[in-house]
Structure 1
């Protein structure tokens, strides 16, 4: 739960609901994809494994993206529990979605990494309970090619439909019951990803998890 974290939060830090073996990420889909996925605990054949898919460990950033499950083709919000081994491997392979002179030797090196990596990292402003931007960032991982296929068919442990939770929290907020809404948020804490939380706070995007 982002708002319950200490004030001194690194600008780039992975925060997530996780266990010793799994980490939960969020996605939103149209019902014809999301409902079968939640029912069967796996992505259906209609889920296009060759396309890039973006996974988000932040529930509130997902709410910002899907408008509390109200945007077209994002009416079904899924909590996808995946293996930490898969998630950690994806982070190690990741390349920033944009050029950063502090991370890449030059623009050509970034372009080369972009061409060869099946995983993209993007940091977007984290959101508070009212979906306002916060001064620190939330991770998105874009998975393509082998990473996308592995996510759908190897890493996924369970898939839950959390659309009712999203709508309940939103209803409470609109009724002015922010404390009750906040109490329902999934608990997200710093993810133990080695060097991701030491030294340069963006070291994780350079594939230096340790």
Structure 2
């Protein structure tokens, strides 16, 4: 079955979804200890969260890039995640989505969240032919993320290093077995319709269920 071009894939439970971020140790380690972001974490800046583990690994270089040495798995409420999607705007103008550039700019100015669809990555961090969601939060969305949506924060840096070691040695099977088991997220069409080009084919409910079962092994 061909993967949809734009689909949220994530680790999720009944009421939570896991997203990833990477920070320097002085931010990441206190966040893990306290279960919330420390005072040094900037609430007045946009913060980007990623449901895709491998896209996070591409972004942070498996936790080796300066300022991104601590990789965090942040468990947030699904209600919060879906609120952000409903209030999000695409981060760039797309003719098949927006009436014109002026309409997009007006939407961007008032939206507390932004979405980018970037090529998903494989274990060698090479691009795949379908895209992964990045969700940027600002203003009200940042405050809600830090104070209301965050349920738990864990340090997955050791996991990232172990998977990287296997992938680097060519043992992709062992690396794949350690990956978080991401499944298509059951986002209703109304959550993503304004974030996808018009007419783009989306998965049917039956296909989403089949994909979820396949991912679950």
Distance 1:204 1:188, change over 3 A: farther
Give the C-alpha shift of residue 158 in structure 1.
Answer: 0.2
Give the distance between the partners of 1:137 and 1:177, measured in 2 at CA. Answer: 25
Give the C-alpha shift of residue 196 in structure 1.
Answer: 6.4
Give the distance between the partners of 2:67 and 2:190, measured in 1 at CA. Answer: 33
TM-score (norm 1): 0.91
Residue 140 of structure 1 is matched in structure 2 by 134
Q: Deviations over 1:115-155 (max 9, x none)?
A: 00010000100001110000100000000001011101110
Instruction: Tell me the C-alpha RMSD between the 2 structures.
Output: 1.3
Q: Note if 1:40 corresponds to 2:30.
A: no
User: Structure 2: 5+ residue runs without aligned partners?
Assistant: 197-217
Residue 89 of structure 2 is matched in structure 1 by 95
Give every structure 1 segment of 4 or more consecutive aligned residues whose post-TM-superposition deviation is greater than 4 Å.
Answer: none
Give the distance between the partners of 1:17 and 1:196, measured in 2 at CA. Answer: 21
Structure 2 SS opposite 1:45? coil
Residue 151 of structure 2 is matched in structure 1 by 157
User: Structure 1: 5+ residue runs without aligned partners?
Assistant: 1-6
Structure 2 SS opposite 1:135? strand
Residue 120 of structure 2 is matched in structure 1 by 126
Give the distance between the partners of 2:121 and 2:187, measured in 1 at CA. Answer: 22
Contact 2:11 2:17 survives alignment (8 Å): yes
Residue 67 of structure 1 is matched in structure 2 by 61
Contact 1:195 1:204 survives alignment (8 Å): no
Structure 2 SS opposite 1:13? coil
Matches within 5 A, 1:191-210: 191-195=185-189, 203=193, 205=195
Give the C-alpha shift of residue 51 in structure 1.
Answer: 0.4
Give the C-alpha shift of residue 176 in structure 1.
Answer: 2.2
Contact 1:17 1:189 survives alignment (8 Å): yes
Give the distance between the partners of 1:173 and 1:192, measured in 2 at CA. Answer: 30
Give the C-alpha shift of residue 71 in structure 1.
Answer: 0.3
Give the distance between the partners of 2:75 and 2:87, measured in 1 at CA. Answer: 20
Residue 8 of structure 1 is matched in structure 2 by 2
Q: Deviations over 1:51-89 (max 9, x none)?
A: 000000000000000000000000000000000000000
Give the distance between the partners of 2:95 and 2:168, measured in 1 at CA. Answer: 43
Matches within 5 A, 1:173-184: 173-184=167-178
